Structure 1
Amino acid sequence: MDIGQKVQLRRLRDRVSKKLASRLGQTGTIRDFKMTDGSGVGVLVKFEDGFTTWFFEDELAPA
């Protein structure tokens, strides 16, 4: 995965708000990466409506 790449939200690991769950299947653009509380890497995704949040890499698929 690279910054600027389009990705689709394909699953969510944890329980989330209905607002975030409604984004399943939507496409966004990778904006940055972040370290998670282990040795994992999170992916910061910006959706078409401007909403931005991070996901684990296995929650995303290339679009």
Structure 2
Amino acid sequence: MAQAATITIGSKVRVLRVRDRIPADLVEALKADPTGTVTGFRTVDGQGIGLEVDLGAGKGAWFFDDEVTLA
């Protein structure tokens, strides 16, 4: 969770991995360019923080904070 404290809305991040299954079009978008911009935060599992990331071209998803790093 320490990393999430340094990431703010507007931060550029790189998706390093994905824990859950995601749609094929999102997999392709991440293969093409795994970077995006943080657009918001969400509470996950009642304990952690998820990051809402805009990947461009109308694609976006949320990721756990340990799935991304600052780009």
**TM-score surpassing 0.5?**
yes
- The answer to which structure has the higher helix fraction is 2
Percent of residue pairs bearing the same amino acid type: 40
Please show how residues 13-28 of structure 1 align to structure 2 within 5 Å.
Answer: 13-22=19-28, 23-24=30-31, 26-28=34-36
| Larger deviation, residues 40-49 vs 12-21 | 12-21
Q: Once superposed, which parts of structure 1, at least 4 consecutive aligned residues long, lie more than 4 Å away?
A: none
Matched length: 63
The secondary structure found in structure 2 opposite 1:42 is strand
After superposition, the C-alpha distances for 1:40-59 in whole angstroms (9 at most, x for unaligned) are 11000001212121000111
CA distance in 1, matches of 2:62, 2:40: 9
- Which of residues 50, 57, 69 in structure 2 aligns to 1:49? 57
Structure 1, unmatched stretches of 5+, are none
Structure 2, unmatched stretches of 5+, are 1-6
Give the TM-score normalised by structure 2. Answer: 0.77
